Structures are given as structure tokens and as C-alpha cells.
Structure 1
Amino acid sequence: MNPYFCEMLKTFLSFFFLITLEVFAQNIKSVQLRPLQENNFSTIVPLGTVLELSFDDLDADSKDYAYRIEHMTHDWKKSRLLSSQFIDGFDENTIINVTNSFNTFQSYTHYSVRIPNVNTIITKSGNYLLSVLNDNDEVLFTRKFVLYENAATIGVQVSRSRNAKTVNTQQTVEFTVNHPNLRINNPSQEVNVVLLKNENWNEKITDLQPTFFKPNQLKYTYTNKTNFWGGNEYLNFDSKSIRNKSLNVVKIEMKDIFHHYLYPYTYNPFLTYRFNPDINGQFVIRTLEGADANTEADYAMMHFTLYADKPFEGKEVFIYGAFNNFSVDDATRMDYDFEDNSYKAAILFKQGFYNYTFATRDNYGNVNTKDITGTFFQTENQYTVITYFKPFGGLYDRVIGVGTTFFDQNR
């Protein structure tokens, strides 16, 4: 066979499989990985905690999906451990809890699995990557989670920035690692810490060294290195009623499915801070039309409008939140309407209460959540410190402790 033809065929097949995988991924909606407790959105939990993974397939047929669990290093590279060293059972299994939607305009199939289960018991702390695979062993999506031990106590505090240039726009995080029951000989090489804002892995600070050493204690007190942009409170909407207007829904139309139109947002470069309680970008699936939101909540096309006198030069605009794992992609990109002087987007959401904001992406791929809604030191954010320990000669990064705090301007 002609070598040129072979190369063209190979390129075509690769492109075809890529497009096919992207279509599969677009049909996967409402991915959640959470503890069983109500209104707990954290995937950073004590070792032994039960997490439930759930998602919908809009193809509404029965596919064979499997999950795979991998142990990772502190910087999310594959660890040296064999699966038998961190799991009792199997690291890959078929998802067998499958149910069809009931009495919904948008049909879908709901998948769920709890970890640990009789086939998969995780025995070690650390970072974990959970992947969902189709029957061709292709990864459709991944989610991160962290299992920790209570071997150290982490004290965290957050305050208004002490830098005069950013005093009105940033927040400073300080923390202390207390380890009376652990012998740490060389903290600079044996200990790694990750500082997370709102448990969003796109907003993190790493590569921090202790600024002070005390017996059984490490202190991290920086002036600028642990500063985060305060950002702004998330916007929200509630579609728990599919036929009637609810929070921030201004109009409803019935087509093939229900279309909900949200109150428009107007860009204001001189915006000042206003307190608005949020859940830091997360979402809750719920419905008033059924008893089981997993299978009786319907899908609605949510219409977003952002008024701006002109397009933002050199930047794309996206709808941003935990509903798609804080990522920006074609499905969440807004298009500018020159006749209406506004950005618009229509995105399919399962019924529920959602936090979201607007994010921009420049020509270099940098994502920014403060360009449109601003950044203020008063914004209430959650900060989490994850502490990893790998002694000299150790095989993996243990998570020895986690500390969490919220910024409160009145404290």
C-alpha cells in the first residue's frame, strides 16, 4: 500500500476517533463525585469515607461504562505503587448501578457507583484519579479526589492582603503544620503542601517551603507568595421547577425541551462589592416535579446573556463553575451578538440550584475569572491546605493532614 495513503488513513482514523470520543463526552452530563452527606461537595475526605460518583448519559441507552482508580503523587503524576499496594480488590470495575430517566422530556440513563465498595477498598491516603471508560477502554472524563489521615493538625487563617498594591483585591493565607507524632527530618524534601481556593484545582499554590521551624511544627507565613485574588461571589440560578419561573429565571419557553432564560448580567468595570451568599461554584441537583432527582429531574436549556458594549479584545468568554469541573470548552463558550451588544450562550443543565460565573481566556490559554465580575478582598472564599509527607526512602506521598478555613471580613 502506498506509504502516503497509509499515513493519510492513519491521520483520518485518529481524527475520527477523536471526534467520536468528543461526541461521547458531550453526551455525558451532571457528573458528581461527592460524599454521601447532604450539601457536602468536598472530594478531600478522610481515608475510608464513602464517595459516590454519578453521571447521566443523554443517549439514553445501556452502555458498559467502567471506572478506574489510580494512585498519584502530590503533583498528580502516576505514583510508583502497584494497584495491589493501595487497593484491596480491583482498581477497575464495571459500573452496574444503571437506571433510566422517568417522566422527563429529555431522556437519559443515570449511572452511579460508591467507592469504597465490595470490589474496591482503598487502603492508603494520597491523591487519586478516578477515570470513567467506555467499552473501547477510552477515558471519557476524570475526577480528582484526596484521602487523608489525621496524623498532623493543620491550622489555617486568611486575612486581607498586606501588600499595599493589592490590599483591596487579594487575600493572604497563612498556615501551620503541627506533627507531634511524626518525625520529619528534612521538611524541605519530605513535606509538600498544596493550597487550594474553593477546592478548584485550577486555583492552587504549590512549591512552598516553611518560613519557620519549631519542634514538631512548620509555619508558612508569606507576605505575597500565598496571596489569592479575592474574586467575587458566584452568580446563581434555580431550575427546580421545570414549568414555572424560579430564582433568576425571567422567561420559560417549551420547545422540544424547556428553555429557561436567565436575567441578563451587565458588564461594569466600576463594579463595587456586594455580599451575595454562594456555594463557591458548586451545584445541587433537585426537582419539584419528582421524588428522585437522580432519574426524575429533567434537563432544560439555560440561556445566558452578558451585556457588553463591545467584545473583549483578544479574549473569549465562558460560563464557568463546578457543573463542568471548572473547565472552559466549546460547550460553555459565549458568542458575541453585535446586534444586541451582548454575549450569549445556551447550555443544557439538569434541574437544580447552580453557581456560576463568567471566565475569560486569552490568546495564550490563560483563564481569568476576575475580568468581568471583578475581584475584592471581602469575597467569602474557602481555603484548604493539603499536607503530603514522603520520608526518605518512602514509596508514596501520604496525606498526613488537611486544614480548611473561610475568609470572613468581620473576623
Structure 2
Amino acid sequence: MESATSAGINVGASAQISLVGQADLTSGTASANKVHSVRTPVKARELFGTGSPLAENIVDALTEGAYPVYAVAAEGAEVIDEDVSAQTGTLANVPVSEDADEVTFEVDSEVQETVRVSSDPADADLDAGQTAYNPTTGEYAHDVVPSTSGNTTYTHYDYASAVGAIETERAEVVDFIGVLTETGSVVQEAHDAALRMAGNYQFAVAVAGAASHIEDKGAFTNSYDSSRIQLLYPSRNAAGDSIVGSYLGLRAALGINNSPMFKRLQTQNRLSETLAKAEQESLIVEKIVPVANDSRGARIVEDLTCVADDNTEEDAMRQVLHRLIIDYVTEITNEVSEKYVGELHTQAARNSLRSNIVARLGGLMDMNAITAYVVTVEPVDAMTASVDVGVDTINPLRNINATVTAGAVA
């Protein structure tokens, strides 16, 4: 039996979350690519700069119930005088800073007013002297065609190294890796990190926005087929700020005791867009978690992983709740089993191993995380035993059909 790490999720306690994002390290005291354990809003703003995407997402996560938040600031790098002489185009490096003050455009040697957008900048209604840009995609659009020249100076952020810091320093602790950008390469890196961690029995789920904007929800295609990633949409509020911190704060408070399905985010009550019922259904088909716009608090509609319909291998992990429960069962099975390495290979030892695993699974039965289990321990050869554990996970209550009839009182 190979050595396994300690359980990432404590039964009856909150899950552990991590956030990676853009910080203001000029006013903040943190260093890029260093993991900080943050327990208070004051500390979040002290480390990552008041008003920065990372600081404010940490504050939202703490407010929703996370404690602590493991956070890493992505390192910024400045690009000077990149050519943008076409009226529309895409910057060479993404994600770009979400602070428009860190992004300047010049057209024919005249400084433009920079406008940040979440959709296609070419569709933006621009005034004279304005340039729109999407920090997630790097796309830009000037109000006019440059006649002689166009250039830009901007800051972009290295999320890969920051995600790597979580993987290196906190893989044995965190259950979620949240990234505060929808940039495809960043989301892919978070997912890849979760897969690598799982290979070492260090289990986590990557969480990100599906896209900064999806024009046609019915035509959107999800490229992922994995239980190690969850994608939200919309993942921005009306101000254009990420809600991933808020969502993971809620998940942290729930742990494996409950599903976030139909629960509200107390820190978010105006999203970037309102999804129609048909749009929600289209996203669910693509294994995207719709977030409903509601003044009482943004409501989580589903708890899907990105497991495709024809993925039979991960069929039991179509809900993140299921993924977390299976991870926990794997953790405790490995944790108990490794204690028997070095014992004499006897029937009594195998019986004791099985009894200890059964005792731990009984705790999950008591809290209704699982509804049934089977454990077998068999000899393989003179120095090897096999442990096989099967569990049925609990399903969240999705629908309630209520009927109220006047005068029908017995």
C-alpha cells in the first residue's frame, strides 16, 4: 500500500479552498506566487491591496463561510508598446489586468480612454477616443481605424506559477482551486493541477467561470470531460468582478454535508446577466453550472462537474458533492490501510483492517453522506492484500412537487 496524505475534508467541518488571482502588490504587502492563509478581511486587503480582485474575492469567501482562505497573487509583467495598429485584434498575452489604469492604448500618437468589457470589444458602443478590451480574451477594439500607428502598454498575469504554488505548498490541504479569470489556458492549468494532485492522493476540484461572456448559450460547447473541474456561468457580477470567491466560500461552509444546489450567495445580488430558463437548461446540457440572478442573492442552480454523458468511468461523480464524498472515502481507506503496512499478513490483520474501514464508513452513513457500502479485504500474494470499497453516495433533493388544496383538512 502506498503512503497517502491526510484527509483533505474533515467530516462535519468546512472544506478548504484556495484562490488565485490578480492583486495590487504596490499597496499590498504580499509577494507573488506565495501562499498566504487568510482569516480576516483586514488581512486580505493588507496583503493583496484594497479593491484588488483577489482581496475582494477573499473577503467575499470569508463572508460566505470559508475559514481560512489559501490565496496566491499571480505575478504581473508589463508589455510596452505592443503593436495594435489594426482597429480590432487580440493582445499577445493573457489574462490582461482587470484594472483599466494598467492598460493604455494610443492611436496615431493620441492616448485613448480605456474601457474594460466582458464581451466582444468589437460589439462595444464606443465614444470618440475610446478603446475597449476584454482582459480574459485579450481582444481589443478602437473606435477608429488607426491611420498611421497604434500601440499599447499593459500588464498581464502569470496564473500558472501561482496555481503551481498551491499545488506545491498546499496540495495536502485544499479541496478547491479557484481561479479568478475565465482565460482558457488558466482554467486548463487549474484542471491539470487538480489531476496531478489526484495522482498523488491529494484531491481537489478546480473551479472557474465557463467564459467571460457567452452570446449564444445553445451553441456553447464545453471542452472538458472530467469530475475534477466545475465551471460556472455567469461568473461575474454587474460590476464585472468574479464571483468565484463567493461561491467557494459557500462551498467551504457546506463541506460534504450538503449541496450548494438552490442555495444563495449572500455577497452577490446582481450578476452580469440574467439567464432565461431555456438558457439555464442549455448550459446544464453542457455540464455548466448556471447561476441565477436574484436580488435576494445569486442562486446556484446545479452542482455539476464536467463529466460528459458518455463518460461511464466517472458516472458516479457527476455532482461535485459526489466527487468530494468519493475523495473522502478514498482518503480514509488509504489512511487506514497504510497503518497496516508492516503488520504480519494474517487473516486477523485483514479482518482488523476491514473492521477499521467499516467503522470510518459508518460515520459517513450516520451523516447520510453515503447510503450503503461494501468492504472486502483479500490476500493477493504472500506480501500483498487487496482492499475493495464500494459506496452509494447520497443524492441532493432537486425537485419538490407541492400541492395545496383548500378545504382538505382531515
TM-score by length of 2: 0.22
Q: Tell me which protein shows more strand as a share of its residues.
A: 1
Considering only CA atoms, is the larger Rg found in Structure 1 or Structure 2?
Answer: 2
TM-score by length of 1: 0.22
